[in-house]
Amino acid sequence: MRAMGVGRLALVALLLGVLAGVAGCSTPHKEIDVIGVVVSEDVAYDGPDTVYTYTFDDGRTFTMHYKGHVISGGQTTGDLLIAGTRPDNWVLVANLRDDWGGWPKGCYGLGSQAGYDTATTIELDFGVTLQKAPDFNPTDHGQPGRFGSIGAICLDRQGRVTQIEAVEAGY
């Protein structure tokens, strides 16, 4: 159930990027409000609206209000949440891979994202710009430039990119 929820969130992010591309417009830049490892997620309803409150392992909380009811596919507890409210509400969830399937220890995997690799950042087609970690490993991805959406991005606890596992590079 949990994997299905994260898959749905990734699918929503991917579909938003595809729809923007089909419409011929670029995805607006999304500003990050919060990055943290979720220890609890509470859902409440305020009339017709859905309200999510996330509590992070350092004690911070973050609340998002959505117009109408939101169908959630499962908890994000233990995952890395990157979220913002500008220009609209958005959420990216990265699952802890922790030495699973060849991923480095402490890796939070963000799957199915395409974007552009610059000298210091990774700019996702979804509209979010992530900083590269000091220990960024370029060996699996290659040279800076465009990378495809089949694969995953490894993030540390601060939401910084440590490596990219892109199958479709350079398109």
pLDDT digits (tens, 9 = 90+) for 53-71: 999 999 999 999 888 766 6
CB 132, CB 123: distance < 8 Å? no
Enumerate domains of the chain plus CATH numbers. 2-93 (2.40.50), 96-166 (no CATH)
For 98-154, the pLDDT digits (tens) are: 766 667 788 898 877 888 888 899 999 889 999 999 988 875 555 677 777 766 788
- pLDDT tens for 78-93 read 999 999 988 888 888 9
The answer, yes or no, to whether residue 35 has pLDDT greater than 90, is yes
Instruction: Please give the structure tokens belonging to residue 4.
Output: 């299905």
The partner residues of 31 in beta bridges, in order of sequence, read 86
The pLDDT mean for the chain works out to 76
